[in-house]
Structure 1
Amino acid sequence: MRFTILGLVGIVTNNELTPIAGRRQRILLASLLLAGGRLLTNEQLYNELWGDDPPHNAHNALQAQVSRLRRTLSRLSASCDDTPPMVTHSAGYVLKVDPSAVDMHTFRSRATEAKRVADTDPGRAVDLLDSALALWRGKPLQDVGNSPLCHSMAVQLEEEYLTAQETRLELKLHCGRTEEAIGELRAISVVHPWREQITEMLMLSLYHVGRRAEALETYHSARRQLTDHLGIEPSRRLKDTLRVILHEEPAAIPRTRPVLVR
């Protein structure tokens, strides 16, 4: 049995994903998974499930949600015989799941390994990041609403995803896979026009393959986005990259930040 939060919250058995029915059931499962085997108190779970408006009988309502989740886990594990134990304490609940069974932890493990080998074996680092990013099936925790724990983790995970993408593309450029990287950089820059790291890599990649005019247009397009929508100018670093291209100076592909891991 495996668990997904990098997209829909669900349970995978026999390579088949079963989404979890009911928003509060999804919040409960996601919260317990995010806790990583640590106790979530009853009060924390009241807040996750009902926010500032818990039911009058919140303790009984929580017990009912836990019992329902236990039945779901038991039913789905019938064919694989590995139901993770949900332990009840007087203060709350713990779901004991092997981290390797949760896609978030697998993503982070592969990203960490990619960071470790990036300098000595960039090709392998690219493959590791490819396999890490392939785990994503959309926005993380996309079907749980705005519960505090899930929302904050979704924001953090999206940043980790984008940083892993940037690192992967930088490594591709250093491996000489420039044309391949240019297409991906263009696609990401459309979706995330404020990521100046992406703009910088795209400008320098185009410049390195002799597409200087396109590199300059990439800068001016990014500048228009920043000034029209945010009312700010590009960073000094991006302006320095523009100067390098205008003056046809030698330039290296920039190094990205390390892949973010918890």
Structure 2
Amino acid sequence: MIGVRQDAVHVRSVDGRLRVALLGPFEVRRAAAPVELGTNRLRTLLAILAMCAGETVTVADLVTAIWADDPPVSPRRSVQTYVARLRQELGTEAISTMPSGYRLEAEPDQVDALRFRRLLSEAARSRGSEAERRALEEALALWRGRPFEGIDSDVLHSRKALRLVELHLSAVERRIDLSLAEGRADELIADVQDLAAGHPHREPLWERLLLMLDRSGRRAEALMTYERLRRRLSIDLGIDPSPELRRIHATLLVGDPR
């Protein structure tokens, strides 16, 4: 993942508070000690509550996330049972019962996915400044893999994970733009190549990779990369590269220094 490596510092706090890491393998810490949640349903329950930390999640939403289209005979009672088990692991004060559901008593920054979104908002407010770069780097450093690894939930993987991945890619592309503007294109090439390989149809990412290669003195490699991408788009989707990709390719062919 692109960002400043911090060895998951966001889940190693010694302030005694609960920490939930969702941007990669699922991790939970309480007072800096790891908490092991043995069943998928417990992990799913905490992940759903954590994504709305400090806010009420309805029983209906919890049932959908945990059981999908196969709810138990008594869904409310079943949710109560799992909440009770989760309280045993996290402490009775960690989860509050509300009239319509349950609430995880945690600040957004105690959940890496929510901290990531806050940092992106901070970066957007600081656009064009050094503060923007710092916020982006801190946000990207929170990523350790695919969101919600170790949790089997269609709700998490089909909706929430896709949104987080989109935000992550947009943040990476913005950081690349800053590096290109500062003449530091070569710093991220290896990471961007790996990321682009995992998203072979995301053309804005490939556009930036071509520019980075060119500005790092690797124009021949940029041209070969474009050709591989062109073939991939044709085979997979039956389309040509975007107008912007074709424009970049044309400038590479004529040696345009821009």
Aligned to 2:56: 39
Letter of the structure 2 residue corresponding to residue 173 of structure 1: L
Matched, 1:144 2:161: no
State whether residues 44 and 66 of structure 2, in contact with CA within 8 Å, keep that contact through their aligned partners in structure 1: yes
Matches within 5 A, 1:245-260: 245-251=252-258
State whether residues 28 and 45 of structure 1, in contact with CA within 8 Å, keep that contact through their aligned partners in structure 2: yes
Q: CA deviation at 1:68?
A: 0.2
Aligned to 1:86: 95
Aligned to 1:214: 221
Q: Secondary structure at the match of 2:35?
A: strand
What is the CA–CA distance in structure 2 between the aligned matches of 1:65 and 1:209, rounded to whole Å? 54
Q: Go from structure 1 to structure 2 and tell me whether the alpha carbon gap of 1:210 and 1:151 turns closer, same or farther (over 3 Å shift).
A: closer
Letter of the structure 2 residue corresponding to residue 54 of structure 1: P
Matched, 1:190 2:202: no
- Give the superposed CA RMSD: 2.1
Q: CA deviation at 1:57?
A: 2.4
Aligned to 1:154: 161
State whether residues 4 and 10 of structure 1, in contact with CA within 8 Å, keep that contact through their aligned partners in structure 2: yes
Mind listing any 5+ residue stretches in structure 2 that lack a counterpart? 1-17
Q: Secondary structure at the match of 1:40?
A: strand
What is the CA–CA distance in structure 2 between the aligned matches of 1:99 and 1:158, rounded to whole Å? 19
The runs of at least 4 consecutive aligned structure 1 residues that moved more than 6 Å come to none
Q: Secondary structure at the match of 1:12?
A: strand
Task: Report the TM-score when normalising by structure 1.
Answer: 0.83
Q: CA deviation at 1:20?
A: 2.4
Q: CA deviation at 1:226?
A: 0.8
Aligned to 2:29: 12
Q: CA deviation at 1:207?
A: 2.5
Q: CA deviation at 1:19?
A: 4.0
State whether residues 31 and 150 of structure 1, in contact with CA within 8 Å, keep that contact through their aligned partners in structure 2: no
Letter of the structure 2 residue corresponding to residue 145 of structure 1: D
Mind listing any 5+ residue stretches in structure 1 that lack a counterpart? 75-82, 252-262
State whether residues 4 and 103 of structure 1, in contact with CA within 8 Å, keep that contact through their aligned partners in structure 2: yes
What is the CA–CA distance in structure 1 between the aligned matches of 2:32 and 2:182, rounded to whole Å? 34
Cα deviation digits, residues 76-109 of structure 1 (max 9, x gap)? xxxxxxx754221343212221111111121122
Matched, 1:106 2:105: no
Letter of the structure 2 residue corresponding to residue 5 of structure 1: L
Given candidates 175, 180, 183, the residue that maps to 2:187 is 180
Cα deviation digits, residues 5-42 of structure 1 (max 9, x gap)? 11233322344443422111011111111223332222
What is the CA–CA distance in structure 2 between the aligned matches of 1:17 and 1:165, rounded to whole Å? 30
What is the CA–CA distance in structure 2 between the aligned matches of 1:167 and 1:190, rounded to whole Å? 18
Q: CA deviation at 1:117?
A: 2.9
Deviates more, 1:42-51 or 1:13-22: 13-22
Letter of the structure 1 residue corresponding to residue 229 of structure 2: A
Deviates more, 1:213-222 or 1:31-40: 31-40
Q: Secondary structure at the match of 2:146?
A: coil
What is the CA–CA distance in structure 2 between the aligned matches of 1:86 and 1:239, rounded to whole Å? 53
What is the CA–CA distance in structure 2 between the aligned matches of 1:244 and 1:84, rounded to whole Å? 61
Task: Report the TM-score when normalising by structure 2.
Answer: 0.84
